[in-house]
Amino acid sequence: MPITRIAACHVAPVFLSARKTTEKAVKLIHEAAKHKANVIVFPETYIPAFPIWSSLRPPSENHDLFQRMVHESIYIDGDEIHAIRAAAKATKTVVSLGFSEKSHFSTATLYNSNLMISDNDNVLVHHRKLMPTFFEKLTWSPGDGHGLHVYQSPYGKIGQLICGENTNPLARYALMAQGEQIHISSWPAIWPTHVPAGATVGGGGKEIPSGGRMTNYDNLAANHIRAACHCFEAKCFGVVCAGYLDRQAIETITAGLMDAGPVIKALEESSQAATFFLDPSGVLFPAFTASEETGEQQHRDLLQLEEGILYADLDLDKCIEGKQYHDVVGGYQRLDVFQLQVNRTRLEPVVFTETFQSKGTETEDE
């Protein structure tokens, strides 16, 4: 197999602006291609944003933000996707893009989606997150199994799951069983589960007590554990691509709150997710950044507290040896004992049928 260069974009969107974020994504695609990337990866719902406000603000205060999210979410056949497809074609790269997808059949049904776009402009895999996680249900509807495909690209067999789907062993097994060699997992910048200890809440300024019960979610550790587990089981390389939380996002999320202090503290102190690579045994894989001006490479294990593009060169022959030990979809599986059935039908809210008579083109209604 040839060496495959992956570019993972650890970047912030232009928060809740589909047009400006698309423009930023196109620039990043061209920059990564200049440094000879074959596959370019973006974080979860990079266009137009991840709705982190739903984890920290009361739902009754989020109507305006949800309305903005609806307006800035994008159609699968919209201008933004066409621009990304054109950039992929122009640079001869494969692009994995997370975006909030707007549906044509409803004014407010959204999906947490990911597209795999080929280097000749084709949409190869259109995946909708199977189940939004926790507070994400306030924004997105459940997807379906239509996107549980592995793309057999010139650069290897590439699969992709979104955030919490990487905790779903059946979804992961569905990709393993298609010979996955490169697994992309996309993540938000932060995923707070508690307001940090020491913050104050309410008009009385009552301090939230410390203690293990209020410990926040460790994004870096949790994402690493899940991704490494998949790589070890699938004997594939892992691309862990997370978003970056910038000041503009914090200001937008906290605007208009009567008591913004605890939310600001939670946003600023929550564990930041990282972007990194893993080898087929689940071990951190050597990566590098490249100077935009000179192309000079600098070794980096990960990107976390700064924006940038992280690169790695993958030798897919390294996916072979581990299969000698544990090929969980082949020689180390009991296919006579276990069976998995996956429904990859694209689900729609209604199916219309037309019945035609044998004579002419008149319908029964006529």
Separation CA 140–CA 163 (nearest Å): 14
Dihedrals phi, psi of 329, to nearest 5 degrees: -115, 5
Instruction: Tell which residue, 153, 219, 152, 215, has the closest CA to residue 185.
Output: 219
Q: Are strands 94-102 and 39-41 parallel, antiparallel or unpaired?
A: parallel
Separation CA 19–CA 79 (nearest Å): 9
Confidence of residue 121 (pLDDT cuts 50, 70, 90): confident
Question: How many CB atoms neighbour CB 321 within 10 A?
Answer: 11
AA letter at 87 = A
Whether the pLDDT of residue 28 is over 90: the answer is: yes
Q: What is the pLDDT of residue 119?
A: 87
Separation CA 264–CA 267 (nearest Å): 5
248-274, pLDDT tens digit by residue? 999 999 998 888 998 999 999 999 999
Separation CA 139–CA 251 (nearest Å): 20
**Distances, alpha carbon 264 to alpha carbons 192, 195, 204, 260, 274, in Å:** 12, 10, 18, 6, 20
Confidence of residue 154 (pLDDT cuts 50, 70, 90): very high
Whether 121 contacts 89, CB under 8 Å = yes
172-217, pLDDT tens digit by residue? 999 999 999 999 999 999 999 887 655 544 434 444 444 444 567 7
Whether the pLDDT of residue 117 is over 90: the answer is: yes
268-309, pLDDT tens digit by residue? 999 999 999 999 999 999 999 999 888 899 999 999 999 999
Whether the pLDDT of residue 29 is over 60: the answer is: yes
Tokens read off for 277: 């690579």
Instruction: Tell which residue, 68, 289, 53, has the closest CA to residue 189.
Output: 53
Separation CA 319–CA 15 (nearest Å): 38
Return the residue matching tokens 């939310």.
263
| Cα angle for residues 148, 223, 182 (degrees, 5° grid) | 45
What is the biggest distance separating any 2 CA atoms in the chain, rounded to whole angstroms?
A: 79
Q: What is the mean pLDDT of the chain?
A: 92
Dihedrals phi, psi of 303, to nearest 5 degrees: -120, 130
Determine whether 340 is exposed, middle or buried from the number of CB atoms within 10 Å of its CB (0-12, 13-18, 19+): exposed
215-228, pLDDT tens digit by residue? 677 889 999 999 99
Q: What is the pLDDT of residue 358?
A: 60
Q: What is the pLDDT of residue 357?
A: 62
Q: What is the pLDDT of residue 91?
A: 97
DSSP, collapsed to helix, strand or coil, labels residue 292 as coil
Q: What is the pLDDT of residue 210?
A: 45
Q: What is the pLDDT of residue 361?
A: 53
Q: What is the pLDDT of residue 108?
A: 96
Give the E-state strand segments of 165-255 in sequence order: 182-187, 200-201, 206-207, 237-242
AA letter at 63 = H
68-100, pLDDT tens digit by residue? 999 999 999 999 999 999 999 999 999 999 999
Q: What is the pLDDT of residue 21?
A: 98
Residue 235: left (phi > 0), alpha (psi -120 to 50), or beta? Answer: left
Separation CA 68–CA 359 (nearest Å): 51
Whether the pLDDT of residue 366 is over 60: the answer is: no
Q: What is the pLDDT of residue 292?
A: 85
The average pLDDT across 41-63 equals 96
The average pLDDT across 234-252 equals 98
Q: Which domains does the chain have, with CATH numbers?
A: 3-200+213-325 (3.60.110.10)
pTM of the predicted model, to two decimals?
0.92
Question: How many CB atoms neighbour CB 293 within 10 A?
Answer: 6
